[in-house]
Chains A and B, each alone.
Chain A
């Protein structure tokens, strides 16, 4: 077992982060949740972690699909939206080696506010993430979790 393991990742309602919501609407409450497990007997770790959540599209063709952003008036293909929470303190000796970290917003539309194009609220996308222990070489990468955005409702 690796020192840090991401055993689960999902989109969810922030009011119930344990239940996956593989489809959602622009108005849906939105969270990306990662379940983290540390090795049962890890080497010494500080209690400080960096976490990154990544939302991504696999479709990057400017002639067909459309998920881009605008920088200074120019459209730029933008395959990911990234959220970072740095220097999280988690006392795993006291609170346990299993924990879940999440980023959440009032609505899915807040998460993709920088995205333009037809697929802003509609399409099949993925989320994934990373966890790193500060001051050590240890890190973990999640699997991809796929979800479907169902439109502007």
Chain B
């Protein structure tokens, strides 16, 4: 009687592929990437509106 081989399915994305080229380089040990400036963001209403929300972040892509 043949044993049925059951292959475990693995997601193609399961290996957590790098999201950006920089992350790819860093993941492969080639981490020499340019320094990235830090951006901050804001959103305001209309031209004469006052700031409704504003936040700063170090996460710019």
Contacts and interface: CB of A to CB of B under 8 A. Distances in A.
Interface residues on A, range: 20 to 34
Given A105-B38, A113-B35, A84 B60 contact: yes
A101 B51 CA distance: 10
B39 A83 contact: yes
Nearest to A100: B44
A102 B35 contact: no
Nearest to A102: B42
A18 B50 CA distance: 12
Contacts of B39: 83, 103-105, 110-111
Contacts of B46: 96, 98-100
A17 to B, nearest CB: 7
Interface in B28-61: 30-47, 49, 52-53, 60-61
A109 B36 CA distance: 11
A70 B47 CA distance: 39
B21 interface: yes
Given A83-B61, A102-B42, A71 B37 contact: no
A107 B22 CA distance: 23
A70 B43 contact: no
Contacts of B32: 70-73
Contacts of A84: 60-61
Interface in A74-92: 82-85, 88-90
B34 A114 contact: yes
Interface string A9-49: 00000100110000000000000000100000000000000
A99 B61 contact: no
Nearest to A116: B34
Contacts of A102: 41-44
B44 to A, nearest CB: 5
A46 to B, nearest CB: 15
5 contacts: A35-B47, A70-B34, A103-B41, A113-B37, A114-B34
